[in-house]
Amino acid sequence: MAFHKFFLIQFFAITIIICIIISQISFAQNNESIIDGFFSRGGHTNNWAVLVCTSRFWFNYRHIANTLSMYRTVKRLGIPDSNIILMLADDVACNPRNSFPATVFNNAGRYLDLYGDNVEVDYRGYEVTVENFIRVLTGRVAPDTPRSKRLLSDDRSNILVYMTGHGGNEFLKFQDAEEISSFDLADAFEQMWEKRRYHEVLFMIDTCQANTMYSQIYSPNILATGSSKLGENSYSHHMDTDIGVAVIDRFTYYNLEFLERVDMQSKATLQDLFNSYNPSFIHSTPGVRSDLFRRPLNKVLVTDFFGSVQNVELTGQQYNISNSDIGHEINISDIKMTEYHSKESPRESEKSTSKNFHLFNVNSKQSSSLPQFLIASILFGILIKLVSSII
């Protein structure tokens, strides 16, 4: 009888140990679910920009300047050249009529040269055609197309498509010889949707009667904005007397005025951007088409389309990354947050943490389970002995 009692006691002991070990395992799982949550927020993981200037000739200087200004903005806000398709139908910087050769300005004050060292034009001159534009969008490019001329977006890419040039009622003129219609554009976007080549698209167009160009779009998750409605012209902002032509369009100018106040940490929303449009300043009625767009505009950050901002969140607790830190938890708030941007404290905090850097959940649960394992194995051995004597 005492025999079986001992057996029962030992059975309970084993069950208790099993419960302890399982609870430790589940605690580790909890941490992981918090970390997973960081990565599944938002919706897009990468940003692309397709910036198209469709008109050539010297007197369309302002269209080149528009496009280059948007190029500079998206680069400043973080989108790299590999993710930007820049299409310029003419090269005004090296035009013999340019009094300031190798420069492009968007302001009469000539404060900022848009055509500096860091400009990568992907489609230039006569390569900017309707066919190439649609091929870029849909991804149906020739097999020998280099990577820099491909839109390699996926289903988690947010794309900014900016077009400027001369347009009309449901058309946009390319290179003075052909035009793209709003139906072509809508079908191109639908092909992109079917191939899951975008997560969300912001289509911005600055031409005469621009709002008609996005009227035929029917694919989901596309937000469109244009400079003027049907029957209205879009006007240039001002002229530089030394260059001799207009240097910027009004719609783009006021967009840039808003965007120059935006940086990568900005929480400005697209609703703020659209609210800043003032038709009396722009001299035309800008329009916004958001019926196909899922999210409310006051929740969409400007940097979701114009920039490429990666999600970084600071945890409240220091993360154990090696065995030497067992039971040694320092709160991040102990390290002063304001000093974090200075040069000293990152080095100090690096010295306090260990040199081993592991990329995954490495807590000390592995080695601390050894004593429990030993107890479990000793009890297992006793169990074997007992069974051998019973049977």
Partner 1 sequence: MTIQSHITGGLIFGAAFTARLILFHFSNITETLGSRIEIVTPVTSFTRLTEGLYLFENGVPPYDGGAFHQAPLLLACFQLLGYLPVIFTKLTFILTDLILAYYLTDITRMKQQLYCHFPRLKVELKTKEIDPWIVAGLYLFNPFTIASCLSKSTIIFTNLSIILGTYYSLKNNKSYGMFWIAMASYLSFYPFMLVLPTILMLINDAESKGKNIKSEIFSCAGLYAGWLSGLLLLSYFLVGSWDFLEATYGVILLLPDLTPNVGLFWYFFIEMFDQFRSFFLVVFQIHAFIFMVPVSIKLRNHPLFSMFLLSGIMAIFKSYPSIGDASLYLAFFPIYSEIIKYMRYNFLTTNIFCYCSILSPIFYHLWIYAGSGNANFFYAITLVYTIGNIILLVDATYAMFRREFDIWNPDLRNYEIIQK
For partner 1, give the closer residue by CB, 191 or 369: 369
Q: Closest approach of Cβ 330 to partner 1, in Å?
A: 19
**Residue of the chain from 322, 345, 349, 353 that contacts partner 1 (CB under 8 A):** 322
- Amino acid (1-letter code) at residue 209: Q
Host H or E run for residue 33: helix 2-39
Q: Is 50 exposed, middle or buried (0-12, 13-18, 19+ CB in 10 A)?
A: buried
292 binds partner 1 (CB under 8 A): no
Of 2-41, binders to partner 1 (CB under 8 A) are 18, 21, 25, 28
Q: Closest approach of Cβ 350 to partner 1, in Å?
A: 20
Q: Is 174 exposed, middle or buried (0-12, 13-18, 19+ CB in 10 A)?
A: buried
| Binding span for partner 1 by CB under 8 A among 37-45, 134-142, 180-188, 362-370 | 362-370
261 binds partner 1 (CB under 8 A): no
Host H or E run for residue 131: helix 130-138
- Evaluate whether 52 touches 208 at the Cβ level (below 8 Å): no
C-alpha 30 chain-centroid distance: 29
What is the spatial distance between Cα 10 and Cα 2, in angstroms, rounded to a whole number? 12
What is the spatial distance between Cα 44 and Cα 225, in angstroms, rounded to a whole number? 20
367 binds partner 1 (CB under 8 A): yes
> Could you say which of 94, 166, 237, 283 is catalytic?
166
Q: Closest approach of Cβ 107 to partner 1, in Å?
A: 57
For partner 1, give the closer residue by CB, 266 or 354: 354
In the structure encoding, which two tokens stand for residue 92, read together? 């005004």
Give the CB-side neighbour count of residue 19, counting CA atoms within 13 A. 6
369 binds partner 1 (CB under 8 A): yes
In the structure encoding, which two tokens stand for residue 15, read together? 């069950």
Of 100-159, binders to partner 1 (CB under 8 A) are none
Helices 61-76, 250-259: inter-axial angle, 10-degree rounding: 20
> Could you say which of 63, 199, 208, 237 is catalytic?
208
Per-residue contact flags (x/-) with partner 1 for residues 82 to 101, judged by CB under 8 A: --------------------
Size of the site for partner 1 (CB under 8 A): 27
CA dist 282 → 180, 326, 342 (Å): 25, 63, 43
Per-residue contact flags (x/-) with partner 1 for residues 272 to 291, judged by CB under 8 A: --------------------
Q: Closest approach of Cβ 347 to partner 1, in Å?
A: 25
Q: Closest approach of Cβ 335 to partner 1, in Å?
A: 24
What is the spatial distance between Cα 121 and Cα 366, in angstroms, rounded to a whole number? 54
Q: Closest approach of Cβ 323 to partner 1, in Å?
A: 6
Annotation says 208 is catalytic: yes
- Which residues, 6+ apart, have CB-to-CB distance to 50 below 8 Å? 84, 85, 87, 136, 137, 151, 159, 160, 161, 162
Catalytic positions: 166, 208
Q: Which residues bind partner 1 (CB under 8 A)?
A: 18, 21, 25, 28, 322-323, 356, 358, 362-367, 369-370, 372-374, 376-377, 380, 383-384, 387-388, 391
